[in-house]
Structure 1
Amino acid sequence: MTTTLFQGGRVLTLDQSDRQYHDGCVLVRDDRIAYVGPRADLPDTPVDHLIDATGKLVMPGLVNGHTHLSMIFGRTLGPEKLLLDWLDQQLPMIGAFDGEAMYVAQMLGCLENLKNGNTSLVENLAAAHPDDTAMEDATFRALRDSGIRGTLARAFEGRNFLPDFMESLEDQARRVTALAERWHGAEDDRLRLSFGPLLPWCMTEEMYRETRALADRLGLCLHMHVAESPEFNRLIAKHLGRDIRQVELLHETGCLGPDVQVVAVSDVSPREVELLAESDTRVLLDPPTRLFWGTGFPAIHPFLDAGLTCGLATNGPAANCGQDLFESMKYACATAKTAKNDPQALGRYRALRMATSEGARAIGRGDQVGCLEAGLKADIITVDLEQAHLAPTLDVTAALVYSAKGTDVRDVMVDGRLLIENRKALFVDESALMRQAEEIARRCIREAGVDVSL
């Protein structure tokens, strides 16, 4: 048995009672939290590793509900393009990946997430199929080796897409089944698999229904982009030959429910919000990317008013050029307030829970992580409060949501394993990884024929 003690800092539990301790402790035994509370009440127990949290905040790790780490080599390429034009530039780079490129991209993305305090993430992977499931296996190896709590949400493209990325329903079923057998629940359930369509016009109604049936058979969640812009709904109507919106299509084909995660949802009608609420579908919001692309102002408050479970996301590092979930919290509050002309449309407490406990529920991890509570998995971060942009910290929640940055994170633990200590990665040589990523990115750009001047 290994024990670690976070001692001497302020503890923010985000549990049901929202308990805080100004001089608190968090004791970890193996991969679980054993004690959370005042230092004065700490049980007398031997400690293998002591982390001095003086001047820091100890809190749950953040939950990044949706990203595309495979696109990390495309960071800074095309940031002023329209969404679909940007995608046309990014996909050829991914199409040039081999297993080494995918592994390095994913490792770099995991490192960035962990250094920003994101202990859980959902990696939505769209990849070519040069060697059956080689790209997915490389991704899972990176999630495993980095130590992060990761779900690979495998994308499906059945038509109207790049030929190397498309597959039949039969191939999807065979590959997803094989991946589930190898990886779903691996590393004591630290790794999971989910899947779903990448873009709605890449699917027929039959593909939606068969994908849903496969998810039911394997007990996997569905994870998909939904109504990211008005163009999405126009293209759906064009390719399906009838006037229907995406959430309505998902309702018709049985692809809504508490095991379904819909991402972005910028262009939805009041009736579609009702359908999401009635089915208890989970919503993942990435407001920085919506504003970055100009694909639609993310109102946010309709989902909150409807009682939906909502999580927050960064989207991919090539989409908003970062993986800072503190930034997503701040943008979520700002956009919700502006959309409703109400400074209380989304408050700091709800935003923080959307990045932790509520976000964990949104991706199906609510029974494992999201708050500091005895018996839960030990996914813990520390935030340095002794900085000019956080002082004075009169309201620690407001400081986290409105002033903090991912670079304020100092220590990161996942599953009881310390992965980042005082901002230094313990699981990888950071400098070597970044050099390797630079070399491979330039190779993939050349092979894809991407014009980096655009």
Structure 2
Amino acid sequence: MTSIDLLIHARWIIPIEPARQVLEYYAIAIDQGAIVALLPQKEADERYRANRTVRLDDHVLLPGLINAHGHAAMTLLRGFADDKPLDDWLNNHVWPAEKKWVNAEFVRDGTELAIAEMIKSGTTCFSDMYFFSEEIAQAAEAAKMRCQVSFPILDFPTAWGNGPEDYLAKGLALEEKMRTHPLVSVGFGPHAPYTVSDRWLEKIAALAQERNMTMQIHLHETAGEVEESLRQHGIRPIQRVMNLGLLTPHTQCVHMTQIDDSDIALLQKTGAHVIHCPESNLKLASGFCPVDRLQQAGINVALGTDGAASNNDLDMFGEMKMAALLAKTVGNNAAALDAHAALRMATLNGAKALGIDKLVGSLEVGKRADIVAVALNDLELQPVYHPVSHLVYASVGHRVTHVWVEGKCLLSDRKLQTVDEHAVKLKVQRWQRLLRA
């Protein structure tokens, strides 16, 4: 028998690759943080001697979910300014609150809260764009969670820095520090075409190419953004960033609710990715991302929650459900974005967008063991004809029981293992009192 670190038995396993496959009564063998085998349970017990064996007889195992866009620290602003259009929400509520309160402590505490929530709802990797990026990286590192930190760049000063040159210096210093980290990577986060001038967008594009780094940008979020770009520059925002060299296979275009055929052609030509944030887009009345058209055009579409200030949760299962329902309505096609495709958006497509699909996003031999277990034994989930349908349509985020990243347990029987839930709640209560005052 071969000795390994961990053996997990489950009623169902959804590997994502091969596509649309559901394995029944299988086990996953894990050693040194990597998946070494997926095989029938009886064969697994005969072949492996595990230091720890976990039997989950009523559960489905799937790759850890990837939240490809968010602002983790803004979880402290959950419910702070609801039911307002984007311009009013940003200019009159969120940005004034951030100007007054955001500092390193705010970001660290808010990110810890977001990480706890994401782990408990099955997310093992998140991409974040927010100030004090070093605090985000440290919080992810402490929680043993996978993370892409897209450090923000804007034309104007914030609590984190006095302008683009300062943001780039701090962000690149963080990237050098984290370059070899197994869980945390660093990329550029130019906020949006309307907050970053041509000079700096061009500079970011050149640096990203030189250093082989990712770029994440809010793009075509509202009709007003597109109209203003046409008025000021005579071209659509995506054409502008394309002309400046910012649209590449390393680019993650967030939102993309206002799309025409020319935009799709640019995405196809450059290999850029789209990050779809359906719940945030709906809440802010930003518009509808035409996911079915994008996927038919061969464009990689991943999923993100955006920040909890505009969502109001970080549950990727809810995001999958909303994405699937919206795609059907927008495309006027009940078969658009079925359950398997929606789950792929939240796993392997997210890994591709972040450039880590060789490591995670599917349960394949050789990949890192980022795994989620969901219990499907509750009365309201019976009968289970198709477990993937339940994962997407039956709101199961709170039924996540176990989470592993690199084979290390972050959640066991709903109990956080790497985050002190009580301490996080105390910090959040303090911030609530300050912001309410």
- TM score, norm. by length of structure 2: 0.94
| Residue in structure 1 matched with residue 7 of structure 2 by the alignment | 5
Deviation at 1:235? 3.1
Could you tell me which of 277, 280, 285 is aligned with 2:271?
280
Amino acid at match of 1:294: A
Greater Cα shift, 278-287 or 170-179:
170-179
Could you tell me which of 227, 239, 242 is aligned with 1:248?
239
Could you tell me which of 89, 103, 106 is aligned with 2:108?
103
Amino acid at match of 1:228: E
Contact 2:30 2:407 in 1 (8 A): yes
Percent identity at matched positions? 25
Q: Deviations over 1:6-48 (max 9, x none)?
A: 1142212111254432111111112111111211221533222
| Residue in structure 1 matched with residue 200 of structure 2 by the alignment | 207
Could you tell me which of 168, 174, 180 is aligned with 2:175?
180
Q: Distance in 2 between matches of 1:17 and 1:400?
A: 16
Deviation at 1:279? 0.7
Judged with a 3 Å threshold, the aligned counterparts in structure 2 of structure 1 residues 197 and 65 are, in CA distance, closer, same or farther, namely same
Deviation at 1:444? 4.8
Could you tell me which of 185, 190, 193 is aligned with 1:192?
185
> Is 1:171 aligned with 2:172?
no
Q: Distance in 2 between matches of 1:5 and 1:82?
A: 49
Contact 1:312 1:355 in 2 (8 A): yes
- TM score, norm. by length of structure 1: 0.91
Judged with a 3 Å threshold, the aligned counterparts in structure 2 of structure 1 residues 259 and 286 are, in CA distance, closer, same or farther, namely same
> Is 1:49 aligned with 2:52?
yes
Secondary structure at 2:333 match in 1: coil
Amino acid at match of 1:236: S
Contact 1:70 1:94 in 2 (8 A): no
Q: Distance in 1 between matches of 2:76 and 2:164?
A: 30
> Is 1:227 aligned with 2:227?
no
Secondary structure at 1:201 match in 2: coil
Please give the residue correspondences for 1:263-278 in structure 2 after superposition, counting only pairs within 5 Å.
263-278=254-269
Secondary structure at 1:27 match in 2: strand
Secondary structure at 1:315 match in 2: coil
Amino acid at match of 1:272: D
Q: Deviations over 1:99-150 (max 9, x none)?
A: 222211111101111111011110111x2xxxxxxx2221111010111110
| Residue in structure 2 matched with residue 78 of structure 1 by the alignment | 81
Q: Distance in 1 between matches of 2:19 and 2:236?
A: 40
| Residue in structure 2 matched with residue 450 of structure 1 by the alignment | none
| Residue in structure 2 matched with residue 93 of structure 1 by the alignment | 97
Judged with a 3 Å threshold, the aligned counterparts in structure 2 of structure 1 residues 292 and 256 are, in CA distance, closer, same or farther, namely same
Q: Distance in 2 between matches of 1:121 and 1:138?
A: 14
Judged with a 3 Å threshold, the aligned counterparts in structure 2 of structure 1 residues 111 and 372 are, in CA distance, closer, same or farther, namely same
Q: Distance in 2 between matches of 1:388 and 1:91?
A: 44
Greater Cα shift, 142-151 or 214-223:
214-223
Could you tell me which of 414, 417, 429 is aligned with 1:438?
429
Segments of structure 1 that go 5 or more residues without pairing to the other structure are: 128-134, 447-454
| Residue in structure 1 matched with residue 65 of structure 2 by the alignment | 62
> Is 1:302 aligned with 2:304?
no
| Residue in structure 1 matched with residue 154 of structure 2 by the alignment | 157
Contact 1:56 1:383 in 2 (8 A): yes
Secondary structure at 1:318 match in 2: helix
Judged with a 3 Å threshold, the aligned counterparts in structure 2 of structure 1 residues 339 and 163 are, in CA distance, closer, same or farther, namely same
Deviation at 1:2? 6.3
| Residue in structure 2 matched with residue 414 of structure 1 by the alignment | 405
Q: Distance in 1 between matches of 2:163 and 2:105?
A: 26
Deviation at 1:298? 2.7
Secondary structure at 1:202 match in 2: coil
Q: Distance in 2 between matches of 1:442 and 1:274?
A: 49
Q: Aligned residue pairs: how many? A: 432
| Residue in structure 1 matched with residue 362 of structure 2 by the alignment | 371
Segments of structure 2 that go 5 or more residues without pairing to the other structure are: none
Q: Distance in 2 between matches of 1:341 and 1:379?
A: 35
Deviation at 1:327? 1.1
